Amino acid sequence: MSLPPPLPEWTLPNVPPALVVDAERPRAPGHGQRLIEVAVGVLVDAQGRVLLTTRPPGKAYAGCWEFPGGKIEAGESLEAALRRELQEEIGLQIGAVQPWRSLVVDYPHALVRLQVCLVRDWSGTLHMHEGQSCAWQSLPVQAAPLLPGSVPLLQGLQGLVLQPPLAP
């Protein structure tokens, strides 16, 4: 008996979206043929606040508040992608990261899998390189409007004890 041919890598994996956003809007051409992997960083400061930034002008859901991050490039690890994106977008150099959870979100513009890490160790000065705004927010956050995919993450963080870093 011969095995079926392997699926092309862009075929939609068998991962049901946990969140369908704006379900009444049409999906972009090619949507769903590829699951886009996204590295997302939840920076937590010593007061247990998290860093949110706005989506830059010109991007889908521009102006909505999200966690910093971006698409993982081919062959790149989650941690390397996060390190690159945070340097490029907000000018910070991150240390060790703690993988936390993933979430598949079906947007009209793309099907994405958010791979979320907690980040408590970073250096540098915040600098918004893409015209975003930024805000350190205590939970529950006041920033609005939120990017829909960020909402379940914020809800999950709410139940998580956001420990401040240990004193040296």
Ligand X SMILES: Nc1nc2c([nH]c(=O)n2[C@@H]2O[C@H](COP(=O)(O)OP(=O)(O)OP(=O)(O)O)[C@@H](O)[C@H]2O)c(=O)[nH]1
- Among 92, 91, 55, CA closest to 70: 55
Min dist CB 96 to ligand X, Å, is 20
Asked if residue 134 binds ligand X (CB under 6 A), the reply is no
Asked if residue 61 binds ligand X (CB under 6 A), the reply is yes
Give the nearer residue to ligand X in terms of CB position, either 112 or 118.
Answer: 112
Which residues, at least 6 apart from 161, have a Cβ–Cβ distance to it below 8 Å?
none
Asked if residue 105 binds ligand X (CB under 6 A), the reply is yes
Instruction: Return the percent helix, strand and coil in the chain, to nearest 5.
Output: 15, 30, 60
Alpha helix positions (H), 23-149: 78-90
Min dist CB 59 to ligand X, Å, is 5
For the window 5-34, what string marks contact with ligand X as x by the rule CB under 6 A? ------------------------------
Asked if residue 122 binds ligand X (CB under 6 A), the reply is no
HSE-CB at 127 with a 13 A cutoff on CA atoms is 9
Alpha helix positions (H), 15-141: 78-90
Binding interface with ligand X (CB under 6 A): 38, 40, 59-61, 66-67, 69-71, 105, 107, 110, 112, 114, 147, 149-150
